[in-house]
């Protein structure tokens, strides 16, 4: 994956993380390890490897949170339903 694609994925996962926190799926503290990396989706000068590490950390946290919440992504969930 190219760096610009990875940065875009990073930004999308950040949006999902914010949505999970807003919906109460996960507490904001669950992302402490991600925040400790010091790399955000807006860190355009960060290396590709740094973004890859951040994306993996975010994805792991989000997948764990989704697996623990039986209502996350349930049918009829308006956040995931197509228009």
Mean pLDDT for the stretch of residues 46-50 = 95
CB 30 within 8 Å of CB 65: yes
Whole-number Å distance between alpha carbons of 26 and 20: 6
Superfamily of domain 3-65: Uncharacterised protein family UPF0058 (1.20.1270.110)
Domain boundaries, given as residue ranges, for the chain: 3-65
Phi–psi pair at 25, nearest 5 degrees: -70, -35
CB 1 within 8 Å of CB 9: yes
Tell me the average pLDDT of the chain.
Answer: 87
Segment 22-34, tens digit of pLDDT: 999 999 999 999 9
Mean pLDDT for the stretch of residues 58-79 = 76
Percent of the chain surpassing pLDDT 70: 83
Banded model confidence at residue 80, pLDDT cuts 50, 70, 90: low
Angle between helices 48-68 and 3-23 (to 10 degrees): 30
């Amino acid at each position: 994956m190219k760096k610009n694609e990875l940065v875009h994925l990073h930004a999308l996962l950040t949006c999902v993380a914010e949505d999970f926190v807003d919906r109460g799926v996960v507490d904001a503290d669950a992302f402490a390890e991600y925040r400790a990396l010091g790399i955000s989706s807006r860190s355009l000068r960060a290396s590709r490897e740094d973004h890859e590490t951040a994306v993996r950390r975010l994805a792991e946290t989000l997948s764990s949170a989704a697996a623990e919440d039986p209502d996350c992504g349930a049918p009829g969930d308006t956040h995931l339903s197509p228009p």
